[in-house]
């Protein structure tokens, strides 16, 4: 027997409808690529998104299922483009401008993009690769007539001219809520990037999960600045969850240096913001250089993408009275997975234990199922010590990559293997200990490279540290610690290993230390252990 409740498909345009009807006067403030600050309201966003949507159908011929690339900063035109295209049942494919040109070529062709919407900033990049993009019909330059550049891009259309051709009376078409809606490629460290294909349903449910009081708890009284780019997994959903909550939005555009971020936090009275640690490092450095500056409006800083260092968390909380929420997620998860907020029942936890807990990646929001398993898929205990492969399930989590790539990451019970290794403590707080492929397997047991690296970084004279597994005849693998010394400082193998004593268990102790001038990094700035392992392929441990 079916219930007798209304059929109301979870389509993303409903978020915009809600913002227009009940928070129509709420502001969206954008730092534009052209320079000035732009301000308007949800009512304007809705009107222009519908106008643009009508125009992309009439002028560009975009229809249900078409893929449209965007390569743009966070700003109002980028939001309009999203809602305009998604509202037609077409797919917005956000392109990460920090990828290498050949990676961009690969994903644009692999995704079968038809048109590309681009900020002025990225016109030169696209000009450089357009000859390798045979399926692109044309480019929409997200600016007005006065700022249109001289460009060799074929079928280059001025965004504001295009928009003018549309009818703001457009009614959103209706379709199945499982219709594809957004696409984002993961920048894996091995192989080609793999495409994640979001649906309307997954985006709406994920935004609702994000808005929950026990998750981010966004409210219409908040002013939210997503510094995290829209091309990073939907700006962590904020382009959906902020209008859903009716919150004021502040878009930083291209400027993410400390001074620029501070300026918007202050002038727009931002109450909540989100980005990776690198951004916050720049902000905190700027604040340290300007000791008169405070953050009186900022209540909540969401930090994810990579682990938040304790010093950063303490600085926000203790020096600036802004709370930090440590978050973890993945492109494959829409992306929110866990948040490090205080849980009911832990009110009596002593401060030291709470700090240790707060530095973990957090606990899952409703709609996220999560477990850790051994290599055979057996669930492991939540004791905060046992670590295993982190697997997740839920309506905002991928069941496959585009075109069947990476099928080995999905099991037949519907779990997605995150590729991370983590612990989960008795209270449900999860802590990433390593990437699965970077774990060192010694005698059937796992050694976490991240832990050793973090302790090694505490040794004076050490600038950068990386641990990799090296083949060993008896133990299968044993850890090698690779060190870059600080300029002009000296440090010995004995000093480095000595600094680890008492901090890690004995059998985790690296079998050797190698000093190098440079440790290789990926395009997104992470240590490339793959390259490092290749460099040390023929290395023979003294213990072997």
* Interactions with a copy of itself, residue window 43-72 (CB under 8 A): 64-65
> Beta strand 416-424 with 440-442: parallel, antiparallel or unpaired?
unpaired
Active-site residue identified among 446, 475, 508, 529: 446
Nearest distance, CB of residue 209 and a copy of itself, angstroms: 7
Query: Which one among 2, 146, 150, 408 touches a copy of itself, defined by CB under 8 A?
Result: 2
Is residue 522 annotated as part of the catalytic site, yes or no?
no
Peptide bond before residue 271 is cis, with ω within 30 degrees of 0: no
Q: Rounded to an integer, what distance in angstroms lies between the CA atom of residue 379 and that of residue 372?
A: 6
Size of the site for a copy of itself (CB under 8 A): 77
Known active-site residue 172 = no
Q: Is 342 in the site for a copy of itself (CB under 8 A)?
A: yes
Q: Which is nearer to a copy of itself, 156 or 392 (CB)?
A: 392
Judged by CB under 8 A, the chain residues 141 through 170 that form the site for a copy of itself are: none
Q: Which is nearer to a copy of itself, 1 or 311 (CB)?
A: 1
Three-state SS for 476? Answer: strand
Instruction: Supply the minimum distance, in Å, between the C-beta of residue 224 and a copy of itself.
Output: 10
Among 151, 179, 306, 454, contact with a copy of itself (rule: CB under 8 A): 179
218 binding a copy of itself? (CB under 8 A): yes
Among 87, 258, 388, 394, interactor with a copy of itself by CB under 8 A: 394
Q: Which long-range contacts (CB under 8 A, 24 or more apart) does 156-165 make?
A: 157/59, 157/60, 159/77, 159/117, 162/52, 162/55, 162/56, 162/59, 162/60, 163/48, 163/51, 163/52, 163/55, 163/80, 164/51, 164/55, 165/54, 165/55, 165/58, 165/59
Does residue 51 have an active-site annotation?
Answer: no
Residue 422: in which H helix or E strand, if any? strand 416-424
- Per-residue x/- mask for a copy of itself, residues 221 to 260, rule CB under 8 A? xx---------------------xxxxx------------
Give the Cα separation of 465 and 481 in Å (integer).
Answer: 7
Region near a copy of itself per CB under 8 A, out of 20-28, 260-268, 517-525, 532-540: 20-28
What lies within 8 Å, CB to CB, of 119 at 6+ separation is 33, 71, 72, 73, 75, 78, 142, 143, 254
Binder among 95, 126, 140, 216 for a copy of itself (CB under 8 A): 216
Stretch that binds a copy of itself, among 52-60, 303-311, 393-401, 448-456 (CB under 8 A): 393-401
CA-based nearest residue to 197, from 61, 11, 391, 331:
331
Give the containing element (helix H, strand E) for 282: helix 277-289
**Binders of a copy of itself among 358-387, rule CB under 8 A?**
363-364, 366-367, 369-370
Please check whether residue 184 is in contact with residue 239, taking contact to mean a CB–CB distance below 8 angstroms. no
Q: Does 18 bind a copy of itself (CB under 8 A)?
A: yes
Among residues 3, 444, 473, 487, which is the contact residue for a copy of itself, using CB under 8 A?
3
* Among 16, 26, 359, 479, contact with a copy of itself (rule: CB under 8 A): 26
Give the phi and the psi of residue 312 in degrees, each rounded to 5.
Answer: -65, -45
| 332 is an active site residue | yes
Query: Does residue number 295 form part of the binding site for a copy of itself (CB under 8 A)?
Result: no
CA 211 from centroid of its chain's CA atoms: 17
Neighbouring residues of 455: CB distance < 8 A, sequence distance ≥ 6: 499, 500, 503, 504
Query: What CA–CA distance (Å, rounded) separates 85 from 182?
Result: 9
- The correct pick among 15, 56, 265, 504 for binding a copy of itself (CB under 8 A) is 15
DSSP for 124-167?
Answer: HHHHHHGGG-TT--EEEESS-GGGPPP---TTEEEHHHHHHTS-
Q: Judged by CB, which is closer to a copy of itself: 308, or 370? A: 370
Minimum CB distance to a copy of itself, residue 349 (Å): 12
Span of 230-238, 257-265, 290-298, 340-348 interacting with a copy of itself by CB under 8 A: 340-348
CB of 396 to a copy of itself, least distance (A): 7
Catalytic residue numbers, as ranges: 186, 332, 441, 446
């Amino acid at each position: 027997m079916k219930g007798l409740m209304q059929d109301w498909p979870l389509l993303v345009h409903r978020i915009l409808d809600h913002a227009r009807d009940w928070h129509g006067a709420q502001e969206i403030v954008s730092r534009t690529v052209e320079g000035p600050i732009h301000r308007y309201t949800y009512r304007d966003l809705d009107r222009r998104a519908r106008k643009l949507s009508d125009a992309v159908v009439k002028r560009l011929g975009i229809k249900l299922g078409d893929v449209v690339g965007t390569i743009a900063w966070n700003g109002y035109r980028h939001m309009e483009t999203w809602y305009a295209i998604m509202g037609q049942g077409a797919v917005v494919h956000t392109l990460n401008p920090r990828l290498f040109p050949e990676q961009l070529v690969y994903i644009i062709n692999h995704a079968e993009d038809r048109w590309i919407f681009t900020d002025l900033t990225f016109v030169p990049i696209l000009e450089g690769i357009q000859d390798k993009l045979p399926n692109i019909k044309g480019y929409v330059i997200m600016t007005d007539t006065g700022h249109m550049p001289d460009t060799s891009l074929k079928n280059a259309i001025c965004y504001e001219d295009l928009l003018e051709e549309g009818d703001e009376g457009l009614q959103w078409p209706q379709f199945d809520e499982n219709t594809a809606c957004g696409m984002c490629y993961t920048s894996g460290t091995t192989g080609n990037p793999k495409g994640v294909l979001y649906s309307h349903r997954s985006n709406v449910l994920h935004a609702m999960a994000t808005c929950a009081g026990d998750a981010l708890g966004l409210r219409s009284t908040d002013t939210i600045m997503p510094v995290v780019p829209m091309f990073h997994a939907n700006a962590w959903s904020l382009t959906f969850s902020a209008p859903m909550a009716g919150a004021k939005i502040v878009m930083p555009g291209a400027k993410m240096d400390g001074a620029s971020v501070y300026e918007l936090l202050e002038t727009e009275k931002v109450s909540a913001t989100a980005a990776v640690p690198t951004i916050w490092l720049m902000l905190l450095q700027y604040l340290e250089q300007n000791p008169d500056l405070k953050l009186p409006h900022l209540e909540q800083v969401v930090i994810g993408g990579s682990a938040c260092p304790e010093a950063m968390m303490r600085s926000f909380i203790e020096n600036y009275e802004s709370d930090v929420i440590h978050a973890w997620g993945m492109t494959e998860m829409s992306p929110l997975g866990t948040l490090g907020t205080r849980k009911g029942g832990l009110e009596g936890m002593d401060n030291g234990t709470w700090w240790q807990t707060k530095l973990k990646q957090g606990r899952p929001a409703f709609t996220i199922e999560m477990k850790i398993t051994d290599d055979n898929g057996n669930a492991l205990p939540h004791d905060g010590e046992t670590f295993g492969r982190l697997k997740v399930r839920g309506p905002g989590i991928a069941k496959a990559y585009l075109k069947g790539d990476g099928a080995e990451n999905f099991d037949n019970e519907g779990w997605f293997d995150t590729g991370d290794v983590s612990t989960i403590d008795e209270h449900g707080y999860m802590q990433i200990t390593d990437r699965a492929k970077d774990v060192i397997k010694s005698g059937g047991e796992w050694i976490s490279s991240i832990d050793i690296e973090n302790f090694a970084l505490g040794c004076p004279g050490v600038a950068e540290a990386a641990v990799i597994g090296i083949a060993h005849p008896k133990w299968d693998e044993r850890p090698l610690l690779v060190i870059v010394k600080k300029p002009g400082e000296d440090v010995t193998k004995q000093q480095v290993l000595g600094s680890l004593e008492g901090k890690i268990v004995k059998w985790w102790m690296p079998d050797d230390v190698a000093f190098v001038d440079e440790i290789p990094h990926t395009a997104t700035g992470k240590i490339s252990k793959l390259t490092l392992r290749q460099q040390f392929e023929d290395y023979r441990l003294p213990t072997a």
